[in-house]
Every structure is written in C-alpha cells, then in structure tokens.
Amino acid sequence: MDGNLTRKIDGWVGLAICAVLFAHSRLRAALGSRRQPSMYATTPPQRGRAPFVPARVLCIKTYGLGNIAMILPALGALHRGFPGVEVDFLTLEENKSLLEHSGQVERVIPLSMGGPLRLFGSLARAFFEVRRGRYDLVLDFEQFIKLSTIFAYVSGAKERIGFNTDGQRRGWLFTTRVVYNDADHMSRTFMRLLRPLGIDTRKRPVVFEHPVEARAKVDDMLGLGDQGSGKVHFPVIGVHVGSGPNYYRVPLKRWPTEYFARLCDELIIRHGARIAFTGKGEDEAELVRETLAQMRQADAAVNACDALSIVELLVLLERCNLVVSNDTSIVHLAAAIHTPVVAFFGPTNPEQYGPGNAHDLVIYKDLYCGPCLTNYNLKVSYCADPICIRSIAVEDVLARIEARYLDAEGEQAAAAGHPQADPKRRLEVLEGSVS
C-alpha cells in the first residue's frame, strides 16, 4: 500500500479511534476501574510506588528494519532487568526474521502491507492475538503512528508505556507517557521507554549466532572460500545503493547511482576491493543494475540483491571490512554487528539516525533547509531538489575513506578484523555549503 496514504489514514482515522477509546477509558475509571491519566497529563515517577515486575510483555514497532535493529539493545536490557520475562513483538512481516534471529522474542505477530485486503486481514488476526496474549506490559516504540497506541489499549495490559510525541496526539491511551526527544540518537531514545521500569538501560552489543551454512554460502559468493590457502580479498566492501521505499516526488535519501559507480571503480582500481551490492525488491535490484552498467570494473563486483536471507545478509555484513550505504536499514544492521559504516545523509539528522559507532563515518552537508524529515512532521517532505545528498562529491568521499580506512594503519587493523578508528575520535560529520 502507498505509505503516504496509510499515514493519512492513521493520522485522521487513528486520531478518531484514539479519542473514542480515551472516552471509554475515562468511563471505565468512573465505574471503578483503574484511573486513566487525563488527556494532556504528564506522568512523572510516583514516590514510594512498588516496583512493577512484568511476566508477559508486548513490544510494538511496525515500520523500519533499521528501527528494529536499534531496538534490539533495549530488548536485551529488558531481559536482563526481568530474567525469565516473555516478550512478543507486533511488527511488519518483513521484520520477523531479524527479530527471530536475535533470540530476544518468544513470538512475532506480523502485519502485512501487501494491499488493503492483506492489511485488514492481518490487522484482524493481530487484534485477536493481542487480546489473547494476556500481557501485563506494552512497550510502544512508535514515534508518531497512532495504530500502535490502539493495539496497546485493546491489549488490556495493566501498564502501557509509549512516546508522547509533541504535536502527534498519540499519548492519550498510555498509562505512562515518555517524552519523545528528537535530539538524541534513536537507540538511546528507544531505551528511554525502559526508564519507568527502573532497570539498567546501558547499551550492550547485540550478539548474533549464525549457522555454518549461511557463512559457507556468503564465503562462496564473495570468493572467500580459499582464504585458508593464503588468498585473502582485502578490502571487502558492502555497497547499498537503495534507500528503502520512496514516498516522495524524488528519492530524497539516495546518492546518485553514477556516483556509486565511480566510487566503486576507484576503490577497485586503487585498492583491489571486492564490492558486494546488497538490496531487496525490484526497485533496488534496478538501482544495482544501473550502477553495474555504469562501472568500468563491474567484474570485481558481486550482485547479492535479493540473493540473501536476513541471516545471510548479516553474515555478509560481518564479512565486510567496510559498508558504504545511503541512510537506510543496512546502516543500522552493519552498525549493530560493529562493521564500520560510511553513510550518506541528507534530509534526516545523522546525530539521531546515524550508525553511531566510533569507527563510522557520516557524510553530511548540514544545510540550512534540513533536516526536513523528522518524527514531528511524520517524515513528510515536499522537497523537489535534494541537493543535500546530491551535492556530496565522489572525490571527497573517496579521500575520506582512504584516509580513515585504507591507509597503512587502517589496512593493518582491517586485515586483523574490522578497521577500528581511534576510539576517542567522535563520529565525523562533514558540514558545509553546496559548492
């Protein structure tokens, strides 16, 4: 379904449903049920309140595989805070594999966006699954969508914690309302939902256990199966030329394919790089084909678009010495397993959605017109000329990749594993006007 249409439906129909359910909650409170906070009340901590220890938790986040990757540390903290807790997750079906592979959830309740009939059918099934779940806690990780607040309320959970995002009127149905902070990195913002529970929210690395078969398939695809005989490809660079579904007149978050082609050619010629293109779906497959058609060194590239499961994709990213990508889910998947990332940012804020590790590099023109995609405006922009992303020069990107990852010191570190920049060095953001 069209993403902009679903956002409009959620914005208006969802608001009306939330208002009706809020009236229902107030009526129940008047009849003796638990008191629901008033519509615009804040919900600060209560002194002397007994600690709440949940047994069954429902987490909700529909859109964004990258968002799911950033939520995984919060799920880990939840399990450490409440050993033995059972966690289910309501999300889009394309996020199911990552959640199951993480080992952090008992069950995934999938929603489908494959047309109106499939969507409404999956919503109906999810409604009954949520009602049968007997959850005592709901954590709603959505930043602006109202559908998730409706699911949180109909779950019947005693505690419902979610973001009370300014201007979005989505906090009415929560028992505990967490202020959404658009100035912090999303992984830390997601962690804020756990603070009312009084558990340790320090972020710890996500660990994935990959099957041998997945590793063998990726090594064979990259030509790494003969490393034991002394033949080693360096560097192996993952490249993602897509940027997820495009809901705008022009692709706002996408560095041009001809720029990717030139960059890849130079990395191959200068450094003998092995390039692995990733992607999913016909749109991204076409972008990969366009890029390969514009390359002079395409024989040194591997087209892995639509060829890998999520488990195999994680193995590929782990095998890479470096990942170069637009602002999309690959950035967060690679960052989660600590593969260094070079990420192109334009209409979104990299301090909020960047990869976030010390060895990463963000390429960003901090123009006065951005960021124009935020959770306050439902990530809707009417820009017709995304010069913020298109003005990033190939030569500048190449020079910074070479200086940071492919000099003598960087090669020595990368050959031993992943290139590690000085841990004291902060995330590098390129600021500048359009030249």
Respond yes or no on whether the N-terminal peptide bond of residue 371 is cis (omega within 30° of 0).
yes
User: Rounded mean pLDDT of 229-248?
Assistant: 79
What pLDDT score was predicted for residue 424? 35
What pLDDT score was predicted for residue 100? 96
In the 3-class helix/strand/coil scheme, how is 108-158 assigned residue by residue? EEEECCCCHHHHHHHHHHHHHHHHHCCCCEEEECCCCCCHHHHHHHHCCCC
- With b for 16 or more beta-carbon neighbours within 10 A and e for fewer, the 185-207 pattern comes to bbbbbbbbbbebbebebebeebe
What pLDDT score was predicted for residue 225? 62
3-state secondary structure of 351: helix
The per-residue pLDDT for range 403-427, each reduced to its tens digit, is: 999 975 555 445 444 544 433 334 4
What pLDDT score was predicted for residue 1? 62
If one compares 169 and 224, the residue with the highest pLDDT of the two is 169
The per-residue pLDDT for range 199-212, each reduced to its tens digit, is: 999 999 899 999 99
User: Rounded mean pLDDT of 98-103?
Assistant: 96
Confidence of residue 230 (pLDDT cuts 50, 70, 90): very low
Q: In the chain, what are the domains?
A: 3-197 (3.40.50.2000), 212-429 (3.40.50.2000)
Beta carbons of 300 and 328 less than 8 angstroms apart: no
Token reading at 12: 């208006």
What pLDDT score was predicted for residue 32? 81
Confidence of residue 252 (pLDDT cuts 50, 70, 90): very high
Give the percent of the chain with pLDDT over 90.
Answer: 78
Task: Give backbone dihedrals phi and psi of 117, rounded to 5 degrees, phi first.
Answer: -65, -45
